[in-house]
Structure 1
């Protein structure tokens, strides 16, 4: 509407002086009527929006509640699942393995020396029976390689939670996910 009034104002300036007063009066009436129409329509629209917002939602007894999504997996879990699916597509056997393992499997079979800091209770979680929460998933991979020694081609991936005796903070956790493949 504004460009219309701008062009009418320009025409008003070029109107003959004798007609200018009458045309100007009509122009002003037209502009005021237009503004009043805009205001009243705006009030109507606001009332309509408010009425719609205050209406209770329509609930159909025929819609099944079981079809509604109740959430999704954590982004890390989604990422882990994508990695596992990719490895399986390229013919890897993906294993999780045990989380509580014999120290021989976690350290000795991987040639980790007795003096290594990871063997101390300050770095690893030991159970009363002497087993350890695995500090890496390489033990699972190594075990599978040993079991499949006779095969010419082995594609093994170990994926899962590992544990380190770290202080939890914004960037560290005592438990995290690790992937190892051969």
Structure 2
């Protein structure tokens, strides 16, 4: 048995020495030292040895095993180092090649405009309040004077999840939640920016878009306060020469309600293709908060009044930067964003 162990050691060392790949080395490790390997096979004959021979053969077997393991470890280190050297040779950098230009990042135009809108209203003392995008029917509709079966619900083209859960169609639910939470606190001046969802998809509509809605509640609030606020916003966003006009309209949550136009900033009101030769551009909807909405929020409409407004960030962005198709804002084309890179 001693001769078998000596022969096994000699054979194993010779084979390991000639190995060129780590995979092949693993195969020899299993062949010589595995549970069904040659060393184990030899040691199965220990039972036939005389008792006094077993310790001697056992010690020799351990030495053989240790030498084979050590040879495998040394060979593994050599092969791994060779792999690294070969990889470095293959991946050598040619420093004579021109370097890659580092791209300059940029904010998305929607982000730029949303932040600008927020900054304008914060400078007027407004607080930013946010709310959930998945809403209940109550906050999205009923608390805003849109009870079940109200015909104006058809204007929203809603994505319903269940009969009572939906993707919000505007950020007005944030206003309803804030009024309810603050329960009769005045003055209340908030804007609520965020994503909203409707079943629209064409050159000027997207199933997901962004709104910024505003709400003011206090004593002695009038339609003149609303117009003055929006005039200041228009001048800050589009330039000092802007004028504002309010056209009668209908929204269930305001009364009276109005569509808000600004004088065309491209032609200065003279008439051009941007304003369809009218001299005016529609930018948002607004009105005085409906008494039913005030009551639902815990306010007494006999004691306080309020105004509200809502604008689409995409529309403001498209007007401000001359983008004709809303889908350009969502198609992932980095060329759109790169136009806003600085430096």
Deviations 1:71-100 (A, max 9, x none): 111111100011112222322111221100
Equivalent position to 1:178, from 190, 211, 224: 211
Is structure 2 residue 130 aligned with structure 1 residue 96?
yes
User: Which residue does 2:165 correspond to in 1?
Assistant: 131
Cα distance in 2 for residues equivalent to 1:129 and 1:114: 11
Cα distance in 2 for residues equivalent to 1:147 and 1:116: 26
Q: How many pairs does the alignment contain?
A: 119
**Alpha-carbon offset, residue 170 of structure 1:** 1.7
Gaps of 5+ in 2: 1-95, 216-343
Q: Measured at CA, do residues 150 and 169 of structure 1 come closer, stay the same or move farther in structure 2, by a change above 3 Å?
A: closer
User: Which residue does 2:46 correspond to in 1?
Assistant: none
Deviations 1:4-58 (A, max 9, x none): xxxxxxxxxxxxxxxxxxxxxxxxxxxxxxxxxxxxxxxxxxxxxxxxxxx965x
**Runs of 4+ residues over 6 Å off in structure 1:** none
Gaps of 5+ in 1: 1-54, 60-64
**Alpha-carbon offset, residue 119 of structure 1:** 4.5
TM-score scaled to structure 1, two decimals? 0.56
Structure 2 counterpart SS, 1:155: strand
**Alpha-carbon offset, residue 129 of structure 1:** 7.1
Q: Measured at CA, do residues 74 and 118 of structure 1 come closer, stay the same or move farther in structure 2, by a change above 3 Å?
A: farther
Equivalent position to 1:74, from 108, 112, 115: 108
User: Which residue does 1:44 correspond to in 2?
Assistant: none
Deviations 1:124-161 (A, max 9, x none): 11114731100111110122122223323111111111
Cα distance in 1 for residues equivalent to 2:133 and 2:189: 21
- Contact 1:99–1:162 (Cα < 8 Å) also in 2: yes
Is structure 2 residue 144 aligned with structure 1 residue 110?
yes
Is structure 2 residue 182 aligned with structure 1 residue 148?
yes
Moved more, 97-106 or 171-180: 171-180
Structure 1 counterpart SS, 2:188: coil
- Contact 1:117–1:123 (Cα < 8 Å) also in 2: no
Deviations 1:151-181 (A, max 9, x none): 2311111111111112x22222111111111
Q: Measured at CA, do residues 169 and 85 of structure 1 come closer, stay the same or move farther in structure 2, by a change above 3 Å?
A: same
Cα distance in 2 for residues equivalent to 1:138 and 1:175: 16
